[in-house]
Amino acid sequence: MRAVTISDGELAWATRPDPVPGDTELLVAVRAAGLNAADLLQRRGRYPAPPGVPADIPGLELAGEVVATGARVSRFAPGDAVMALVGGGAQAELAVVDERVAMPVPDGMGWAEAGGFPEAFCTAHDALFRQCGLQLGERVLVTGAAGGVGTAAVQLAAAAGARPVASARNPAAHGILLELGAASAAEPGDALGEGPFDVVVELVGASSLPGVLGALATGARVAVVGVGTGARIELDLLALMARRAAVSGATLRARSVDEKGAVVAAVTRSVLPLAAAGRVRVPLAATVGMDAAPDAYEQFAAGGKIGKIVLVGP
Amino acid sequence: MRAVTISDGELAWATRPDPVPGDTELLVAVRAAGLNAADLLQRRGRYPAPPGVPADIPGLELAGEVVATGARVSRFAPGDAVMALVGGGAQAELAVVDERVAMPVPDGMGWAEAGGFPEAFCTAHDALFRQCGLQLGERVLVTGAAGGVGTAAVQLAAAAGARPVASARNPAAHGILLELGAASAAEPGDALGEGPFDVVVELVGASSLPGVLGALATGARVAVVGVGTGARIELDLLALMARRAAVSGATLRARSVDEKGAVVAAVTRSVLPLAAAGRVRVPLAATVGMDAAPDAYEQFAAGGKIGKIVLVGP
């Protein structure tokens, strides 16, 4: 097969041996694979692949057709359209995925959208519901809301009956964020003015979090998922105590297949029906051929995108 | 009545008008009232009493006999022995407490222990169970474990089937902490070496927390309840994300009567039976007459105490 490969920071479209599915795995002919900040970090040598994953093929999510299954696979069969959350290796013609981290592609969802769905929606779901325990009617702030996880978080918060405020530096994103269900969409300073917030999905990092911590309601929960602007902040513990607030952080990639499977199961149960009904979608900033991966990585690094950049198969 | 009063940082044993119970309140003849760090802060003008509480009479917890009840009180009657969590005003001959924040004194518990029970056990219970969701078998670290909240947290964690490690600078406290159920008791550096920890009750603050954050298990929860050594820390968000950890903070005092009542109800249900069975207790560092409050405050400020300092009625 051919795959996007990383060698000394250089991307190539190179030939690699076809992967072979284990007992509980699916072999998938990849049709689309979303790009994530983690891929750019990995290219720069700062986010090595976890054990058990191809070390030199990036990609944390994919969609495609099942072409073979391991002996103990029970939920999928050859010909099925699946999407999956993986620890790496997605940006290739073929990938193996454990069936626990695979989901059926909902009716009506195209390949590119499906390839950009798993990482964004699993991350947003884990942040809003597992980390923050989002409740009906709560006031949510999503910072850096224009990207994949941000647009997913806004849609999930709205679907759950919360009131999402979307913060995005790029004014061109505000209209789309309102369409996706944001109660308001504004530049960061103005968005903070709409607080206090019960739940915050922090996708920006050090440049954003101090302001966020000043705009919390009593009992607030902050999930830190992105730290593109830096990862070190000064935390005032007395302010945290006075607000009875909690700050948590999480990444998906390092989790075991079982743990990823638990997130995928929750998303399968609660989000796929919304996707099938057209109530949540994956906004696409761009689709780029896998053999032109360097262009896609450059677009991602340039910033300002609205929604996902997805690599599509040849 | 007479009461401990604060005026310009000076403590006195002075006369004040008798308080009058409202419809849902008990008038309590106070027999004992525990001392807390908040009282010392209040004396220094740094922790003013919340609205609805005597502004110049300190004291967040008390035990005594009900001498009168408001028209709508349903759970207590004159003559009952109660202990209560209040927002202030406990260090006096008489206090009014809403019945929602009152608990019966368990059989076999003396007045001094009862007067030092509510704040310590409600704080520790809120930290371990509401904030951190402590589970059977988890590894718990309690920093600054020799004080009232610390000894309560060690006992509650042990009672819940967790494995509490007690961190205390004062080696004289280690033996008692082991008696109270600590799996081990050690000075801070050695205690950290027993990690990683699933749950941490942080009672020390800025000098302790950076070390604690380096000793967390995946999925750890840290509840910050005391910040005597400072309240500002540098937080590494990537480390928090890599550990999937959460840091929360809380105080009890600022909460509404309803919210305090929820904590008291939880403690009544889950801790009072343990106290009645002698499985948890309130270690007493000292009992001091209310009319000698300045001595008690000085002892508290000097540090090194093991358990609670409790003011007892005249």
Got the DSSP string for chain A? -EEEEEETTEEEEEE-PPP---TTEEEEEEEEEE--HHHHHHHTTSSPPPTTS-SS---SEEEEEEEEE-TT--S--TT-EEEEE-SS--SBSEEEEEGGGEEEPPTT--HHHHHTSHHHHHHHHIIIIIIT---TT-EEEEETTTSHHHHHHHHHHHHTT-EEEEE-S-GGGHHHHHHTT-SEEE-HHHHHTT--EEEEEE-S-TTTHHHHHTTEEEEEEEEE---TT-SEEEEEHHHHHHHT-EEEE--STTS-HHHHHHHHHHHHHHTHHHHHTTSS---EEEEEEGGGHHHHHHHHHH----SEEEEE--
- Cβ atoms within 10 Å of A238's Cβ, excluding its own: 15
**Is the Cβ pair B245, A246 closer than 8 Å?**
no
pLDDT tens-digit series, residues A210-244: 999 999 999 999 999 999 899 999 999 999 999 99
**Is the Cβ pair B250, A241 closer than 8 Å?**
yes
Instruction: Output the pLDDT for position A119.
Output: 97
For residue A223, what is the nearest residue in chain B, using CA coordinates? B246
**Is the Cβ pair A244, B241 closer than 8 Å?**
no
User: In the numeric block, which tokens belong to residue B165?
Assistant: 């490690």
Average pLDDT over residues A42-67: 91
Instruction: Output the pLDDT for position A87.
Output: 92
Chain B within 8 Å of A131 (Cβ-Cβ)?
yes
**Is the Cβ pair B227, A206 closer than 8 Å?**
no
The alpha-carbon gap from B126 to the nearest alpha carbon of chain A, in Å, equals 11
For residue B204, what is the nearest residue in chain A, using CA coordinates? A237
Instruction: Output the pLDDT for position B53.
Output: 87
Which of residues 226 through 245 in chain B touch A, CB cutoff 8 A? 227, 231-238, 240-245
How do the pLDDT tens digits run along chain B, 314 residues long?
999 999 999 999 999 999 999 999 999 999 999 999 999 999 998 888 888 888 899 999 999 999 999 999 999 999 999 999 999 999 999 999 999 999 999 999 999 999 999 999 999 999 999 999 999 999 999 999 999 999 999 999 999 999 999 999 999 999 999 999 999 999 999 999 999 999 999 999 999 999 999 999 999 999 999 998 999 999 999 999 999 999 999 999 889 999 999 999 999 999 999 999 999 999 999 999 999 999 999 999 998 899 999 999 97
For residue B225, what is the nearest residue in chain A, using CA coordinates? A241
Choose among A206, A244, A248: nearest Cβ to B250. Answer: A244
Instruction: Output the pLDDT for position A161.
Output: 96
Instruction: Output the pLDDT for position B111.
Output: 98
Matching residue, tokens 């007459």: B289
Instruction: Output the pLDDT for position B18.
Output: 96
In percent, how much of chain A has pLDDT > 90? 93
Instruction: Output the pLDDT for position A253.
Output: 86
Which residues have C-beta within 8 Å of that of residue B256, sequence separation ≥ 6?
none
Phi/psi at B202 (5° precision): -95, 110
pLDDT tens-digit series, residues A279-304: 999 999 999 999 999 999 999 999 88
Residue A314 reports pLDDT greater than 80 = no
Closest CA to A54 of A117, A102, A123, A3: A3
**Is the Cβ pair B241, A250 closer than 8 Å?**
yes
**Is the Cβ pair B234, A232 closer than 8 Å?**
yes
For residue A246, the chain B residues in CB contact (below 8 A) are 131, 246-249
Instruction: Supply the DSSP symbol for B250.
Output: -
Choose among A205, A232, A234: nearest Cβ to B232. Answer: A234
HSE-CB of B105 using CA atoms within 13 angstroms: 25
For residue B249, the chain A residues in CB contact (below 8 A) are 237-238, 240-246
Instruction: Supply the DSSP symbol for B17.
Output: P
Examine the predicted complex and report whether its ipTM is higher than 0.95: no
CA of A262: how far to CAs of A86, A101, A130, A188, A256, in Å? 13, 8, 11, 33, 10
The alpha-carbon gap from B66 to the nearest alpha carbon of chain A, in Å, equals 32
**Is the Cβ pair B227, A237 closer than 8 Å?**
yes
Chain B within 8 Å of A205 (Cβ-Cβ)?
yes
pLDDT tens-digit series, residues A15-32: 999 999 999 999 999 999
Instruction: Output the pLDDT for position B14.
Output: 96
Chain A within 8 Å of B303 (Cβ-Cβ)?
no
pTM of the model as a whole: 0.93
Instruction: Output the pLDDT for position A98.
Output: 97
pLDDT tens-digit series, residues A120-170: 999 999 999 999 999 999 999 999 999 999 999 999 999 999 999 999 999
For residue A247, the chain B residues in CB contact (below 8 A) are 235, 240, 246-248
Instruction: Output the pLDDT for position B48.
Output: 80
Which residues have C-beta within 8 Å of that of residue A51, sequence separation ≥ 6?
none
Residue B20 CA to residue B54 CA, distance in Å, equals 12
Residue B173 CA to residue A313 CA, distance in Å, equals 66
pLDDT band of residue A254 (cuts 50, 70, 90) is: confident
**Is the Cβ pair B251, A242 closer than 8 Å?**
yes
Choose among B238, B246, B249: nearest Cβ to A248. Answer: B246
Domains and their CATH numbers in chain B? 2-117+283-312 (3.90.180.10), 120-249 (3.90.180.10)
Phi/psi at A276 (5° precision): -65, -30
Instruction: Output the pLDDT for position A221.
Output: 98
